[in-house]
A and B are shown apart, each in its own frame.
Chain A
Amino acid sequence: QKEVEQNSGPLSVPEGAIASLNCTYSDRGSQSFFWYRQYSGKSPELIMFIYSNGDKEDGRFTAQLNKASQYVSLLIRDSQPSDSATYLCAVTLRGKLSFGAGTTVTVRA
């Protein structure tokens, strides 16, 4: 079982819609949760982090964490073409950050 799992996509959404990305993790002891955005040919860029259950909003992004279900999600509101990228979910456990394979999002104009 992979430590962090994501749907690979691609997830195609129309401009202005909400993109919803999901991530599950295998170890209940996982402590911190991150979302990175990675444009093609570029390195990962941290866009959100969440440490406790519930929702955390930052601009058009909302991260949601449910530790009981071992589930973390990212919502992108009012999606723009510039949001087209691969989104990586990452989870820390005992000091190690483990990444999912990423979900590719395409925002169509």
Chain B
Amino acid sequence: EAGVVQSPRYKIIEKKQPVAFWCNPISGHNTLYWYRQNLGQGPELLIRYENEEAVDDSQLPKDRFSAERLKGVDSTLKIQPAELGDSAVYLCASSLGGQGGYEQYFGPGTRLTVT
């Protein structure tokens, strides 16, 4: 069974530029998550989707971050404009569904460097 797929794996951009990340979850997983992980810390949830609906985006900085999950499968996370503090690893995860009680499986992540 294929795991969570993310692209790109690495991205280097200058501040104020836009950037987008793409995620394809495990087949059949209805719930999709975007996390951000800073060095030496655990992942922090940015947004959670159940099918097409964003059910928890309370931690998403909405002034510059946006996300979508069209057709309830693939998802994209966008930052515009990027700031130096956005440098981190952006992780996508998926689970079968429900209130987060199901096991979450992570993709390889996108390492973003903002210069």
Please report A residues at the B interface, Cβ cutoff 8 Å: 4, 31-32, 34, 36, 42-46, 49, 51, 88, 90, 92, 94-102
Which residue of A34, A43, A94 is within 8 Å of B107 (Cβ)? A43
Q: How far is the CA of A42 from the CA of B55 in the complex (A)?
A: 27
Chain B residue at minimal CB-CB distance from A45: B106
B98-110, CB under 8 A of A: which get 1 and which 0? 1111011111110
Is B45 among interface residues, defined by CB-CB distance under 8 A? yes
Interface of B is mostly: loop
Give the size category of B's interface with A: 20 to 34
Q: How far is the CA of A45 from the CA of B101 in the complex (A)?
A: 17
Beyond A46-B105, A92-B99, A94-B100, list 4 extra A-B contacts (CB 8 Å): A44-B106, A95-B55, A100-B42, A102-B40
Most chain B CB neighbours (cut-off 10 Å) among A31, A43, A45, A88: A43
Q: B40 and A101: CB pair below 8 A?
A: yes
Q: B40 and A32: CB pair below 8 A?
A: no
Q: How far is the CA of A98 from the CA of B106 in the complex (A)?
A: 14
Q: B56 and A95: CB pair below 8 A?
A: yes
Q: B42 and A42: CB pair below 8 A?
A: no
> Would A43 and B55 be within 8 Å (CB), given that A32-B101, A96-B45, A101-B42 are in contact?
no
